[in-house]
Amino acid sequence: MNTFAKLSKYAVMAFVAVSMISCSSDEGGENNNDDNPQSGPFVAKVDGENFATKGYQAKYLSSTKMLQIIGNTESNEETIVISIIRIGDETITSLSDWTPQTFEMGAPNPWGEGYYTSSIGYNKYNYNIDGYEMWQNNPEGEIQVGQIKITEISGNHIKGTFFVDTYKYDGTYNLSDVKHITVGAFDLDVTIQ
């Protein structure tokens, strides 16, 4: 694995840990567990079951050109973290420079304008080990199933869809332990950091 891939993997894991603590809560709203998984600020299904989102946020980290979209359950026992990092694209200096675009999972696209790396992770608390288990799209794998699609971006508001196959990760990827994240959608204001 090249140095950039290692750094990207560790950066995403660090942001996952911080993000689990810092999601805003939807105190008075519904938990988006309705029959239409394409509506709501942050919705998805994990292995065919509705992801009971209670907290969610989108943030743009100016220093790294990273867009991160996070959804978690009320108990914080489950979290989905979407990350897109724009690298080597001098036309991107702020969130306002982003346009609707599709980001495929997998290894970063070739160096040059529009270079990015994208990932989606799913974390679930396991009381038997007193800690979180992680599933991520496998950046080292040859076959990647997943996509993040930004369909609208206006001012500090973003809207889009996502899906991915994630693999259990505990230092190596377990390709036999897969979580399928499907019919994901987000419709959120973005905090600039």
Q: DSSP string covering 22-81, please? A: H--B-SSS--S-SS-TT-SSEEEEETTEE--EEEEEEEEETTTTEEEEEEEETTSSEEEE
Euclidean distance between CA atoms 44 and 95, whole angstroms: 24
pLDDT score at 117? 82
pLDDT score at 108? 54
- Residue ranges making up the domain that contains 123: 3-192
For residue range 9-23, list pLDDT tens digits in order. Answer: 434 444 444 344 344
For residue range 55-89, list pLDDT tens digits in order. Answer: 999 999 988 889 999 999 988 899 999 999 887 76
Q: What's the domain count of the chain?
A: 1
For residue range 113-128, list pLDDT tens digits in order. Answer: 557 788 899 999 999 9
Task: Specify the pTM.
Answer: 0.77
